[in-house]
């Protein structure tokens, strides 16, 4: 059986900032980063402060781990074409906010950007992606490495360790078959459910602390409002999608009536040749 829990994005807004619940987020990050991670504190940057006009489509949290590294965890519910640039901006802003004026660049903090998205970001057949920075020789194809003195100074083993790392979890691509403990977490992120047999770090605690039935009345009311906002956003997005589809088909019909070829109409509308020919048949044009 699977236990129904509150959504992780809402939990990040209301529950996971409480130190008593750090173990839930620690568990997720430990499974993702393959280390036994401990959270020192939840930080606030200009990028993750809640505002009065928060539209519920995005939730983020900034964490400092036991090594002084910074981890941005962001959940994005609605499609954003420029989301990759947003990820870059987010890490850059956090880096700038956490180095004091006059400090040497060696004090720039390592930043991890963890992005949980509920739309199909980019093109790709996987559901978890890792982005790092490496410098490769254009003639030798060898990777640029740190000197021994740099390794000692930075306490890092490679150049890529100095730069932000980006994780993208595309929940819509996950087929809901949990093959390992990270998949168990992604199952929870997608379904807001935890199966009895799951053993991933943090999930047992999440199963107890994120139980909808155990919410305080005020939190339950806020959670219901949050879900209603999510449904409203989804309904609006679906309506816009249908209106765009209708407009595209209207363009196709008009172009066919004016004598355009099926191939040309497919090219300008993005419809398949079969769809265009079906429209032509319905109009009695037999293109």
Which residue reads 């959940």 in tokens? Answer: 75
Phi-psi category of residue 171: left, alpha or beta, with phi > 0 → left and psi -120 to 50 → alpha: alpha
Q: How far is Cα of residue 55 from the mean position of the Cα atoms in its chain?
A: 16
Q: Is the pLDDT of residue 81 over 80?
A: yes
Cβ burial of 2 (10 Å; 0-12, 13-18, 19+) is middle
List the chain domain ranges: 2-214, 219-283
- Using alpha carbons only, what angle is made at residue 11 by residues 38 and 99, rounded to the nearest 5 degrees? 50
Q: What is the pLDDT of residue 139?
A: 96
- Bridge partners (DSSP) of residue 195 are 2
Residue given tokens 């890092």 in the structure block: 156
| Average of per-residue pLDDT across 3-8 | 86
Q: Token digits for 233?
A: 């956003």
**Torsion on CA atoms 101, 131, 55, 61, rounded to nearest 10:** -50
Query: What pLDDT score was predicted for residue 54?
Result: 45
* Residue length of the chain: 287
Residue 59: CB atoms within 10 Å: 24
Q: Which residues contact 80 (CB under 8 A, 6 or more apart)?
A: 86, 119
Tokens of 158: 């490679």
Q: What is the pLDDT of residues 88-110, one digit of tens each?
A: 999 999 999 999 888 999 899 99
Task: Give the chain as a DSSP string.
Answer: -EEEB--HHHHHHHTTTSGGGHHHHHHHHHHHHTS---EEEEE--TTS---TT--SSEEEEEEEETTS-EEEEEEE-S--TTHHHHHHHHHHHHHHHTS-TT--GGGPPPEEEEEEESS--SS-S-SEEEE----B-TTT-PBP---HHHHHHHT-SSGGGGS-EEEEEEGGG--S---SHHHHHHHHHHHSEEETT---TTHHHHHHHTBGGGS-HHHHHHHHHHHHHHHHHHHHHHHHHHHHHHHHHHHHHHHHHTT--HHHHHHHH---HHHHHHHHHHHT---
Which positions ≥6 away from 279 have C-beta within 8 Å?
249, 252, 253, 256, 271
pLDDT score recorded for residue 234: 65
For 9-60, what is each residue's pLDDT tens digit? 999 988 999 999 999 999 999 999 999 999 999 986 544 554 444 445 677 8
What is the reported pLDDT for 51? Answer: 46
Block residue for tokens 């906002």: 229
pLDDT computed for residue 57 by the predictor: 62
How far is the C-alpha of 204 from the C-alpha of 200, rounded, in Å? 8
Q: Is residue 259 predicted with pLDDT exceeding 90?
A: no
Confidence of residue 287 (pLDDT cuts 50, 70, 90): very low
Query: pLDDT of 139-158, one tens digit each?
Result: 999 999 999 999 999 999 99
- Kindly state the average pLDDT of the residues 111-119: 94
Mean pLDDT within 222-226: 86
Predicted confidence (pLDDT) per residue in 165-218, tens digit: 999 999 999 999 999 999 999 999 999 999 999 999 999 999 999 998 888 888
């Amino acid at each position: 059986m699977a236990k129904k829990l509150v959504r992780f994005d809402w939990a990040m807004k209301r529950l996971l900032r409480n130190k008593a619940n750090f173990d839930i987020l620690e568990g997720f990050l430990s499974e993702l980063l393959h280390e036994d991670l401990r959270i020192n504190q939840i930080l606030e940057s200009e990028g993750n402060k809640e505002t009065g006009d928060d539209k519920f489509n995005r939730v983020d949290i900034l964490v400092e781990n036991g090594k002084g590294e910074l981890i941005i965890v962001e959940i994005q519910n609605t499609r954003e074409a420029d989301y990759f640039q947003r990820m870059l901006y987010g890490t850059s802003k956090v880096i700038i906010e956490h180095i004091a004026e006059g400090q040497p660049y060696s004090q720039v903090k390592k930043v991890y950007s963890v992005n949980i998205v509920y739309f199909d970001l980019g093109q790709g057949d996987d559901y978890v992606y890792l982005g790092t920075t490496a410098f490769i020789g254009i003639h030798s194809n060898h990777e640029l490495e740190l000197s021994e003195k740099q390794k000692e100074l930075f306490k890092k083993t490679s150049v890529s360790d100095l730069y932000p790392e980006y994780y993208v979890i595309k929940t819509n691509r996950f087929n809901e078959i949990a093959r390992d403990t990270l998949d168990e977490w992604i199952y929870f992120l997608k379904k807001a459910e935890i199966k009895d047999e799951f053993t991933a770090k943090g999930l047992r605690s999440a199963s107890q602390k994120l139980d909808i039935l155990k919410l305080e009345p005020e939190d339950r009311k806020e959670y219901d409002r949050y879900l209603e906002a999510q449904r409203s956003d989804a309904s609006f997005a679906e309506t816009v999608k249908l209106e765009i589809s209708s407009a595209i088909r209207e363009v196709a019909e008009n172009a066919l009536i004016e004598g355009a070829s099926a191939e040309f109409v497919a090219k300008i509308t993005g419809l398949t040749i079969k769809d265009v020919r079906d429209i032509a048949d319905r109009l009695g044009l037999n293109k």
